[in-house]
Amino acid sequence: MTDRIRTLKLTSALVLGTLAMSQQALATEELNALVWCDHTDPALIEPFEKKFDVKVNLKEYEGTGAALAIVEQSQPGDWDVFVIDGVDVPRAIEADLLAPLPADELPTDDLFPALVMPENHTKDGEVYAISEKFGYNTISFNKAKVDPADLNDMSVLWSSDKYKGKIAIYDYYLPVMGMVAVGLGKETSGLTSDDLPAIKETLFKVKDNAKLVGEVVSSQTALATGEVDILVGGGEWVTAGLSADNPDLDWVLPKQGGMRWSQSIGVFKDSGKKELATEFVKYILSPEGQAKLATSSCYWAMPANAKAGSVLSDQQKTALRWDDQEAYIANSQLYPAPDAELDAEMQDAWTEMLQH
Amino acid sequence: MKMAGGAQSRRIDLGPWAFVAPALLWTLAFFVVPFLVMVVVSLWERVGTKLVASWTFANYLKFFERGHFFEAMINSLEVTAIVTLLSILLAYPFAWIIAEKVPQRWQRIALVLAILPFWTSYVVRSYSWLLVLANNGVVNQALLGIGLVDEPLDLANSRTATVIGFVHFFVMLLTLTIYANLVQLSPNYRKAAADLGAGPFRIFWHVILPLTLPGIMVGAFLTFVLCIGDYITPQVLGGNNELLMPQVIMLQIGRRADFPTASALAILLMIVVTVAYLGFARWIRLERA
């Protein structure tokens, strides 16, 4: 009899425990975010998950074209949060993908002025996205092996073979093709199909001098291990995280300028969890969220919110070149923002360059 | 009687079907249906960011119109051929030593030792090769150390690195298939050939090698199939200095979300593998005959 009672108690405890866990599981909401890889750092996401008892599902993508296609091929409501290149926000607004954000709850006044970008983020008086992070695609290099003065002129990458075999190219067509365009004296905002032949020809010359074309990890590894001495398309996002271990890794904005990238964050119009998604946006834009995003394990870059400076350490700010941002912003252009047709042509040119 | 006999034969016929039904259903659900979906999608179009359900061979024509697609197939075939040939040349003596020279009680241990490195992750192993072959990696440091070269060789991020990464993997596979073939051979073949006056080389060339061709061909075919469809090794070790077919397919999916073109390219790759299968199967059958 005692055994039966003990068995009954144990069974009841197990059943109740399972039910309690099920309830907890049911209580935990899920938020689906389409992001760049810097948002996948647990140090960034976990504080939000704990605070709101939510599981944030993160889907990484590369390139706005791919992101828009993923959204197009998903069901309405599948996605809640969208991290997108700043120059591409108007495309997302035009496609009616984004919901208006509560402007009075966003720290817009705390952003670096150049990052407010109302022409990109606002339409008909409504704010649809807000900048969260920015940086530069320019030239990273090992100053123990390369004369920094050489890299003040970007054309050394294609007009000379001084660094042949010691160059890596970051495998992302928009910034690198934009960089080459800037190097050829073009405005990235006005690129057309007619500009592509010259850009492609120059890219081929850079490829002739290159040892490899690699994505984020490969290109960082190549520079860090000494496999190459120069990374085309690099910037603080490559070297800032590595500079503590290797102070020789540096980056430069050549006299022609470089690409300034910025990421924006918004909430999908069809999200069924707009309030929670908005809380996520507010968390990412908070000084704490911004500091974590700026020093994310995938890549470092400047936070859009200037108040993150009070959270970042001096070493982190030095690595990010916090005090030089005004000059850098003035000498940089935004990414190209091609329409679908030009985007496809640019990708074809990029694939040809890879196969060259 | 006739009816009873008919009922009995139906019972006998249904039995085997019941046994194979799970495998058939599995194949249907996870191969036939996805394959048909892929065929249908390969005939669609991507217009802007949208997939348009149409019936066009435009995605297949792209393969011939765009040089970088066609070149990717040529690169894949070249790399696969080199890898298969090198793997056979390295695996055969390895398998022969294990089968002929290692005492029988140690053979199993020798085989386990041969495949031990492959218990690590495929991706980790590829990245490890990248470090080993780097300018300041073990290989170059050793070559510099013994004075064979004055400057580090450009091994990493090249076709050479891709081939080395592949061969490292497929030598193991071919060793197993060739070893399995070798140990099945009766020693009487060798004795008979020796009695007829053949020396060790003639015994190997005219007796052992032909009898182990099925093992070589089975391993070679598996190597061909796995190598031509592999994305990780060329992506990690090749440094994007040339693209192989799986990389081009992944570019269509990951960067453009162009599933129709990716499907068409994948089907073209499958056709190449099917042709290779027909070639290998016919050859093996002829040799057996």
3-state secondary structure A245-275: CCCCEEEECCCCCEEEEEEEEEEECCCCCHH
Task: Say if residue A342's pLDDT is above 60.
Answer: yes
Contacts of A72 in chain B (CB under 8 A): 49-51, 257
Q: Tell me if B188 is assigned to some domain.
A: yes
pLDDT level of residue A259 (50, 70, 90 thresholds)? very high
Q: How far is A215 from chain B (nearest CA, A)?
A: 9
Across the interface, whether the CB atoms of A63 and B255 are under 8 A apart is answered yes
CA B282 vs CA B178, B180, B275: distances in Å = 19, 21, 11
Residue B47, SS3 per DSSP? strand
| Number of structural domains chain B divides into | 1
Confidence tier at B135 by pLDDT (50, 70, 90): confident
Q: A67-76, A298-307, B233-242: which has the minimum mean pLDDT?
A: A67-76
Å between B65 CA and nearest CA of chain A:
12
What would the mean pLDDT of B217-238 be, rounded to a whole number? 94
Of the two residues B96 and A17, the one the predictor is more confident about is B96
- The answer to whether the CB atoms of A355 and B130 lie below 8 A apart is no
* Longest CA span, chain A: 92
pLDDT at B8: 53
Residue A317 in 3-state DSSP? helix
How many beta carbons lie within 10 A of that of residue A135, not counting itself?
Answer: 27
pLDDT at B253: 85
Q: State how far the alpha carbon of A21 is from the alpha carbons of A29, A74, B216, B218, in Å.
A: 14, 31, 55, 51
**pLDDT computed for residue B284 by the predictor:** 62
| Residue numbers in A near B154 (CB within 8 A) | 165, 211
pLDDT in tens, B159-206: 999 999 999 999 999 999 999 999 999 999 999 999 999 999 999 999
pLDDT at A158 over 90: yes
What pLDDT sits at residue A8?
44
In this structure, is residue B9 part of a structural domain?
A: no
Q: Would the pLDDT of B10 be above 70?
A: no
Residue A184 clears pLDDT 90, i.e. is over it: yes
- Residue B44 within a domain: no
Lowest mean pLDDT among A67-71, A226-230, A289-293: A67-71
Asked whether the ipTM of the predicted complex exceeds the cut of 0.90, the reply is: no
pLDDT score recorded for residue A1: 40
Give B19-62 pLDDT, tens digit per residue.
Answer: 899 999 999 999 999 999 999 999 998 887 678 888 899 999 99
Is residue B52 situated within a structural domain? no
Domains of chain A by range and CATH?
Answer: 25-134+262-321 (3.40.190.10), 135-260+333-355 (3.40.190.10)
For residue B116, the 8-state DSSP code is: G
| Residue B158: pLDDT over 90 | yes
**Alpha-carbon dihedral sign for residues B222, B228, B231, B232:** positive
In a domain? residue B181: yes
Q: Is the pLDDT of residue A25 over 60?
A: no
Closest Cβ–Cβ partner in B240, B254, B259 for A354: B240
Residues A245-266 have a mean pLDDT of 92
Question: In this structure, which amino acid lies at residue A58?
Answer: L
Q: How far apart (Å, rounded) are the C-alpha atoms in residues A241 and A220? A: 10
User: Scanning the structure block, which residue is given the tokens 């047709």?
Assistant: A341
Least Cα distance to A205 among A184, A234, A185 occurs for A184
Pick from A82, A145, A355 the residue to mutate for testing the B interface (most B CBs within 10 Å).
A355
pLDDT tier for residue A5 given thresholds of 50, 70 and 90: very low
Query: Which range (A85-89, A350-354, B44-48, B134-138) has the least confidence?
Result: B44-48
Q: Interface of chain B against chain A, CB under 8 Å?
A: 46, 48-51, 66-68, 71-72, 130-131, 134-136, 154, 156-157, 236, 239-243, 248, 251, 254-259
Write the residue in B50, B157, B236 that is nearest to A211 by C-beta.
Answer: B157
Q: Which residues of A touch B248 (CB under 8 A)?
A: 351
Cross-chain residue pair B239–A218, CB shorter than 8 Å: yes
> Distance (Å) from the C-alpha of residue A355 to the closest C-alpha of chain B?
5
Q: Which residues pair with A249 in a beta bridge?
A: A142
Q: How far is A346 from chain B (nearest CA, A)?
A: 11
Question: Rounded CA gap, A316 and A240, in Å?
Answer: 8
DSSP H helices, A122-254, are: 156-159, 173-183, 196-209, 216-225, 236-239
The domain in which residue B132 lies consists of 68-288
Give the count of beta carbons closer than 10 Å to the beta carbon of residue A98.
25
- Two tokens, residue A62: 């590369």
Which percentage of chain B shows pLDDT scores above 90?
Answer: 66
CA separation for the pair B157, B238 (Å, rounded): 4
Mean pLDDT of A84-96: 90
Whether B28 maps to a domain, the answer reads: no
Report yes or no on B224 lying in a domain. yes
Q: Is residue B57 part of a domain?
A: no
Q: What is the CATH number of the domain that holds B261?
A: 1.10.3720.10
Does pLDDT of A68 surpass 90?
no
- The residues facing A98 across adjacent strands are A268
Rounded distance between C-alpha atoms, residue A170 and residue A230, angstroms: 10
B136 contacts in chain A (CB < 8 Å): 225-227
Which of B73, B123, B256 to substitute to test the interface with A, most A CBs within 10 Å? Answer: B256
